[in-house]
Structure 1
Amino acid sequence: MNLRTIGCVELNSVALGMHTADEMVKAAEVELVVARPTCPGRYLVIVAGDTGAVKSSVETGCAIGGDMVVDWFVIPSVHVGVIPALNGATPGVRIDALGVIETCTTASCIIAADAAAKSGQVDLLEIRFAAGLAGRAFVVMTGDVGSVTSSVNAGVAGVGDSGPVHSHVVIPSPSDGLKAKIL
């Protein structure tokens, strides 16, 4: 995917989430990237398109979702590594140091991943969200220790008010056993 704007609405209702996804697509010319339930009983909607359309779509989603909206964002010019990491389709890369940021919402994790990837020379390996994670999400990245450290710090800071960040870590030299489980 070319550099595009993405927007997200995360809700505390599957039924209202499906309705919100439908209305977001009808509100503006956007592509539906993700529309699916996550746990615990949440629903995640991610759209992509030009900035104005995505903003309009997310505004509609937040209005329809009302009190059930857990988190939301609009990210103009999302980093090219975010969408593949969301889909678990990151091409094979050499794992050096590992960085992990764990957040309390999927939306804040995507914000952290984008900020981390934009700030340093890291590869996003995966953005895992809310499947058996009690609503939490995490992003895993790799690169040299300095780049991973600075990217993790930027990702944590990038979450801002969307948070909170539950935890984060840099593993300078992961074991071969851990690397095998990540790949």
Structure 2
Amino acid sequence: MGKSVCMIELSSIARGIETCDYMLKAADVELLRSSTICPGKYMIIIGGDTGSVTAAMNAGEEKAGEFLVDKLLIPNVSDQLMPAISGTSQVPTGGAIGVIEFYSVASAIIAADTAAKTAAVNLIEVRTGFAVGGKGFVTLSGDIGAVTEAVNAAKAVSELMVECAVIPRPVDKLYEALM
């Protein structure tokens, strides 16, 4: 089975931390992110093989109960997605930069996976709700044609998009700030 990613968002921080423990005990999965997000919610993102991620998500949904706000499961994700979510991407500098912003964390994750599968781009980061008012955003790089194609593909499959930008020739200091 391929690599998968699951996200569960809860309206209770206490139940979120408890749910994370249940999910990690339910299956052999990798914890990509477990944190509070604005405004006062809790988010868990795990990755691993599809069967394990599905089992962990099912356990998480059950434990979250009435505090479940949103959930997402993407089977067979791009190899770039998990490092971009966990902040460990190694991205070459140079080329255009694309930025896609969403009101929803789940929408940002879907957009990032779609963008990476559509064109020869490098995912820089998938920011998930922390210190951005509960929003999600994706940054990516590559040649101008690929970045434009990836951003357009992500826009086509995404919900709750706020804005997007393609920066054809960013200054070096911008790359430094994004890394």
Length-normalised TM-score, structure 1: 0.87
1:168 aligns with 2:167: no
1:158 aligns with 2:154: no
1:95 aligns with 2:91: no
Give the deviation of 1:181 after TM superposition: 2.1
Counterpart CA distance in 2 for 1:157 and 1:56 is 30
Q: Tell me, what secondary structure is at the counterpart of 1:15? A: helix
Counterpart CA distance in 2 for 1:17 and 1:53 is 19
Where in structure 2 are the equivalents of 1:1-183 lying within 5 Å? 4-159=3-158, 163-183=159-179
Task: List runs of 5+ in structure 1 lacking aligned partners.
Answer: none
Give the deviation of 1:72 after TM superposition: 1.4
Counterpart CA distance in 1 for 2:173 and 2:134 is 27
Counterpart CA distance in 2 for 1:109 and 1:145 is 21
Provide the alpha-carbon RMSD of the alignment. 2.0
Q: Tell me, what secondary structure is at the counterpart of 2:31? A: strand
Give the deviation of 1:157 after TM superposition: 2.5
Query: Alpha-carbon deviations, 1:137-169, whole Å to 9, x = none?
Result: 11100111111111112222333xxx3122212
Name the CA shift for 1:150/1:103 in 2 (closer, same or farther; >3 Å). same
Q: Tell me, what secondary structure is at the counterpart of 2:113? A: helix
Counterpart CA distance in 2 for 1:51 and 1:39 is 29
The answer to whether the 8 Å contact 2:126/2:139 transfers is yes
Give the deviation of 1:85 after TM superposition: 1.4
Length-normalised TM-score, structure 2: 0.89
Give the deviation of 1:171 after TM superposition: 1.4
Counterpart CA distance in 2 for 1:37 and 1:71 is 14
The answer to whether the 8 Å contact 1:71/1:108 transfers is no
Aligned length: 179
Percent identical pairs in the alignment equals 40
Counterpart CA distance in 1 for 2:26 and 2:98 is 37
